[in-house]
Structure 1
Amino acid sequence: MNNKLFVIPKPNPNAKLRLFCFPYAGGSPAIYMPWSSELHPEVELVLLQFPGRGARMGEPAYVEMQHKVDELLAHQAFLTEKPYVLMGHSLGSRVIFEVTKHLVENNAPLPRHLIASGSRAPHTASVKERIYDLPHDAFVEELYKLNGTPKELLEHKELMELLLPLLRADFQIAECYRAQATTLPCPITVFHGHDDIEISAEQLHGWQDLTEHKIDIHYFNGGHFFINQCRDEVLKTVNQVLSRIV
């Protein structure tokens, strides 16, 4: 697939299922890259690379959810050509909900499953203070507190100057986007960190409003970035979900 949006670390033309993985705010395909050799053998991993990162560093990062959705829908044929599952962490979870909602409206083939990791339900209001438009030093200080950006990167002034526009853009989407509640026909599995104080029980269980099926919630040790802290356990659970579909 010769397209900058999709990164396929280990192409598998005979795969029966594709898993599309969406990063959190400020994240890149590198988050999921190590998964490629440990996924179910009949699953092809496809990573999403939006503007502002990796090979697309020179492109302005999107500041609205609809921009991400529009680009994905422009490649709807590839997205839906095989049975597929969508997974996202944090902001990525809200992206997969929004794109699935549009696929329903387009009468397109739908994901067999959604895996929403580390995110409040997208129709619930965020109770966090907005940070994307803070002055430089205050914004960087908030990034330290969130503990999702490596400390060595935050302390590298030249790299941070390059990355700050991307981080601000992603946080703008994360903080300003709120979905209209829509009940999807797709099953949803929810991943949550035991110590994630950013998401209330009401926001977590709000995912139930968005599917015709009973949601399945899996809890992991760690905070908001348990996907990194509990990588092996998360991947094991992902494979369990996929094995029921392949």
Structure 2
Amino acid sequence: MDIDPRWFKRFGRTGPAEMRLLCFHYAGGNASVFRQWPRLLPWFIEPVAVQLPGRTDRFRETPYDRMDPLIDDLIEVVKPLLDKPFALYGVSMGSRVAWALAHALRERGMPMPRQLFVASSSPPSLADGRRDWDGRDESLIEFLRTMGGTPDEVLEHPELVAGLLPTLAADLSVVSTHTFRPRTPLDIPIHAFAGTHDPEATPEQMTGWRTETTARFDIDPVPGGHIFDDAGHRQVIRAIVDTWG
């Protein structure tokens, strides 16, 4: 079975690797946030970035606004990537997608990730159906500004921002409407990364990920806000390599 290039981006990494790191972007983002990871990770870890519908080369596709159909489709296309030891890393919404995928893999008796790495996301136990915006475009734009990750040159052009909003709203709905409560926690290590000045997922809130596994749990503070800068990404990558590699 071939790897679907719509869903998975390798950004030029074609050499041999001993393990894979599947990376999930934040709400309103895309796989390109991991574009530099192939050159930052050692040769034996191959990063593969997941590209969800509704953005960049998939902009003509309808974005998901619910978690269950997203995971049902993802579980089918991810199969070719599970032939090596792998881990999952998610940022914000991507953390919750990675967590839901891990549970789906376990439920279906498929290969399990060796580790789950989560960043900038409150734990599923705090999910209450609350939305991070009130349905107005102005509220979504303010969310983009507050969370970071969207270049200023984009925010300064209303037509570019307008193109982002439907996908962002759908992404946020994926998280806010997903209230899955597993009977049994995962049994794989979870390593969390929390921005020290993140208004959305504080380090204190992110300690709640501890209840999502019966295995080891670690949390690292990362200087900065919701979306990490280059130094933050390097800190995360060093921790991933030290912990799992």
Q: Deviations over 1:22-54 (max 9, x none)?
A: 001111111111011110211111010010112
* Aligned mates of 1:55, 1:122 — CA distance in 2: 30
* Aligned mates of 2:147, 2:45 — CA distance in 1: 32
* Aligned mates of 1:83, 1:208 — CA distance in 2: 23
Moved more, 90-99 or 119-128: 119-128
Contact 1:124 1:178 in 2 (8 A): no
Match of 1:116 in 2: 118
Contact 1:100 1:111 in 2 (8 A): yes
Structure 1: which 5+ residue stretches go unaligned? none
Match of 2:192 in 1: 190
Contact 1:40 1:242 in 2 (8 A): no
Cα distance change of structure 1 residues 197 and 93 upon mapping to structure 2, 3 Å threshold: same
Match of 1:59 in 2: 61
> Is 1:171 paired with 2:175?
no
Cα distance change of structure 1 residues 127 and 177 upon mapping to structure 2, 3 Å threshold: closer
How many residues are matched?
242
Match of 1:238 in 2: 240
Match of 1:139 in 2: 140
Contact 2:67 2:178 in 1 (8 A): yes
* Aligned mates of 2:73, 2:103 — CA distance in 1: 15
Moved more, 92-101 or 221-230: 221-230
User: What RMSD, in angstroms, separates the aligned Cα atoms of the two structures?
Assistant: 2.0
Contact 1:88 1:117 in 2 (8 A): yes
Structure 2: which 5+ residue stretches go unaligned? none
Percent identity over paired residues: 33
TM-score (norm 2): 0.90
> Is 1:84 paired with 2:86?
yes
Match of 2:105 in 1: 103
Contact 1:227 1:234 in 2 (8 A): no
CA-CA distance at 1:63 after TM superposition: 0.4
Match of 1:217 in 2: 219
Contact 2:52 2:58 in 1 (8 A): yes
Q: Deviations over 1:57-107 (max 9, x none)?
A: 110111011122112111242131211010001110111110110111111
Match of 1:45 in 2: 47
Match of 2:157 in 1: 156
Contact 1:91 1:119 in 2 (8 A): yes
